[in-house]
Amino acid sequence: MLAKKIAISAALILSIAGSGLGSISAHASNVQDTYWHNEYRLWDQNDNTPSRQKYDTTSYYNRTDNISGYNNYIRIWAALADGTAVNQDHAYNTYEGQVLYLWNLAVERYGSGVSVRINSTSTKWLSASGVWSPDSV
């Protein structure tokens, strides 16, 4: 009798596990690249990427494809869609052709699905472009 109860219990556990009822669902990361183009002028030295939703605790991904001029860079950091910094003083100089992974606390502080962007600044008159994603692999 005890063996029969164990066999039935084991079959029930295996069927629940196999059906997916015992699994935890997770939202897919938002890792597709989005194009950005920013302009920096003496009277307006700040710009940002378009906003996107962030789902996991990974770094933001940024690839800077073009910066006008020679040996120029822009300074970038992680922010919420409203511009609030979530970088805890982690900011990066990015040059043409460079890939960076930006440290952030967006999901840890505001939850999965929060809208985020990359803030940037330059003290020079220039333009820059590239791609970014809020979640990285």
Task: Give the residue among 88, 89, 100 at the shortest CA–CA distance from 49.
Answer: 100
User: Residue ranges of the domains in the chain?
Assistant: 34-133
User: What is the spatial distance between Cα 99 and Cα 38, in angstroms, rounded to a whole number?
Assistant: 17
**What pLDDT does 137 receive?**
78
pLDDT one-digit tens code per residue, 52-67:
999 999 999 999 999 9
CATH 1.10.260 holds for 34-133: no
pTM of the model: 0.79
User: What is the spatial distance between Cα 81 and Cα 31, in angstroms, rounded to a whole number?
Assistant: 17
